Amino acid sequence: MTGLADYDDIAKRARPGSAFSNGTEGYDWQANWCDRCLRDAPFRNGLKGATGCPILLVALTGNKTPAEWMEQPRDEHGRYSIADQYHCIEFRAPGDGGSGEPRPKPEPPDMDGLFDRPERRTRMNVQPTETPVRALEVSQ
């Protein structure tokens, strides 16, 4: 799995608290995300020397929720879909092509690029914070 941070880096960025409240939540979420992800496919298929996903390892071995898993909104009753509780920003679906690494489009032949291409950097793995909204005061 190239391009993915190692276990220690992911564990440092992880939020405290278990990602799932029970095994059913965890297995349903993994079936929807991890079991289809190309990044973990070599390990799931038993290829020699392949390692599993360090993001999933952090979630399963510690009382932490990886920062790469973005929590999804709940409905007006506080409910959420178990299989869609988080969105993994490192997920690569089958059919997305290639090895799971992003590939920039090549420059057109005989043309220079308009701008220099920046180096690929670490994604922002910070959960957005909620901004409190003041109640509207209505005078009568």
Q: For position 1, what pLDDT does the model report? A: 47
Query: What pTM value is reported for the model?
Result: 0.64
* CA-derived radius of gyration, the chain: 19
Q: Looking at residue 15, what is its pLDDT?
A: 92
Boundaries of every domain in the chain? 7-88
- Residues of the chain with pLDDT below 70 are 1-3, 96-104, 108, 110-115, 117-128, 140
List CB contacts of 50: < 8 A, sequence separation 6 or more. Answer: 1, 42, 43
Q: pLDDT digit string (tens) for 111-123? A: 666 667 666 666 6
- Three-state DSSP at 88 gives strand
88 bridge partner residues: 69
